[in-house]
Amino acid sequence: MGMTSTTPPTAPAVVREQPGGESMRAIILNGFGGLDRLVYTEIPKPLPRDGEVVIEVKGFGVNHAELHMRRGEWAEAAEVSGIECVGIVDSCPGGEFPVGAKVAALMGGLGRTINGSYAQYTRVRAANVALIESELPWSQLAALPETYAVAWTCLFRNLNLKAGQTLLLRGATSSFGQAALKMAVAAGAHVIATARSTKRVSALEDLGASRVEVERRDLATHIAESKQIDAVLDLVGNSTILDSLDLLRRGGTACLAGWLGGLDPIGDFNPLLRMASGVNLNFFGSFVFGTPGFPLSDVPLQDIARQVAEGKLDAKPSHVFSFDQIHEAHRIMEAGEAGGKMVVVID
């Protein structure tokens, strides 16, 4: 999850290696704007550094964060976009990961302050890398890092969700929402999902939702479970989070982790007047991965991949693109036609 900025940068930050090394194919941001700003070119391959991992990229997810970067709507954007990837360790001077190991990488400045994953190789801090040894195809592994790492953290760390509990999932039709829904159901939770319209009800029920409600800002006054909900994962954002607090039982928790409803701040929020005693509110954003207390290795990505391989969790991407199809991937994302997690696989 990321915040947009009203003062976008004037140009993508160029992060280049010393000349004379190997080159690689990459997709760079040639300024900000439309699809034509994503340009294929050759740039130097990143050089290994102590405490960092150079990864041969085999696949990466396509995220709205990269759309905002392309448009110049984030305060930071590197020349090479891409906030996540899966691939093979090419070099690791500090020995944190063996050369040849399958790994996932996420954030840690990827695509923002350092060159990201829209390339044949990327370099990222070891704290933002996790093992993901699996026989799953790269297309399926590429669907896991950002979406499933965030969903797992929100559900099982921030919300401490347990089997048998009732979760209200607001904004369930997004790729993140779908992942959270599937993970919560697999963990034995009872999930009530929300969607903006009735068109997606059957799709969410197929994913395991026990019921689907049409999203509204005063949902707490319209569902029978009000004041009895154990946990709320709110991906709609500031416009609904206070209503989410009204749904909770004493001791229940709401986690704010998305802004599908926009970034406008909550006006005049006074907890004394707007929060019931004994309910909990917290927040999670994927930009914290790799910071003290949030190493990516804490997320059981390898176990999540095992659940996918065993058929206990469906993480199939909605679209799989080749490296040469980044314009089409961004077009579909911009048009709101993704219908789930989109990935790019590099042959």
Query: How do residues 191-225 score in pLDDT, each as one tens digit?
Result: 999 999 898 899 999 999 999 999 999 999 999 99
Query: How do residues 304-347 score in pLDDT, each as one tens digit?
Result: 999 999 999 999 999 999 999 999 999 999 998 998 899 999 98
Three-state SS for 89-139 is EEECCCCCCCCCCEEEEECCCECCCECCCCECEEEEEHHHEEECCCCCCHH
Query: Which among 227, 228, 235, 146 is positioned nearest to 193, based on CA atoms?
Result: 235
Task: Give the position of tokens 């896991």.
Answer: 144
Residues 6+ apart with CB under 8 A from 203: 173
* Mean pLDDT score, 95-117: 96
Confidence category of residue 4, pLDDT binned at 50, 70, 90: very low
* Mean pLDDT score, 152-162: 97
Residues 6+ apart with CB under 8 A from 333: 62, 64, 67, 342
Query: How do residues 63-81 score in pLDDT, each as one tens digit?
Result: 988 999 999 987 789 999 9
Could you tell me how far CA 231 lies from the centroid of its own chain?
Answer: 20
Whole-model pTM?
Answer: 0.89
Asked if 293 contacts 1 with a C-beta cutoff of 8 angstroms, the reply is no
Instruction: Kindly compute the dihedral angle of the four CA atoms of residues 268, 257, 110, 295, in this order, to the nearest 10 degrees.
Output: 110
Is pLDDT above 80 for 8? no
Looking only at the bridges linking them, the beta strands covering 342-345 and 319-322 are parallel
Q: Is 8 exposed, middle or buried (0-12, 13-18, 19+ CB in 10 A)?
A: middle
* Rama region for 11: left / alpha / beta (φ>0; ψ in -120 to 50; rest): beta
Instruction: Domains for the chain: give ranges and CATH numbers.
Output: 23-143+288-345 (3.90.180.10), 147-284 (3.40.50.720)
* Mean pLDDT score, 283-295: 90
Residues 6+ apart with CB under 8 A from 121: 24, 45, 46, 54, 55, 56, 57, 90
pLDDT at 19 (0 to 100) = 61
Asked if 34 contacts 331 with a C-beta cutoff of 8 angstroms, the reply is no
pLDDT at 20 (0 to 100) = 59
Confidence category of residue 2, pLDDT binned at 50, 70, 90: very low
Following DSSP, what letter does each residue of 62-81 receive, concatenated? E-HHHHHHHHT-SS--BSB-
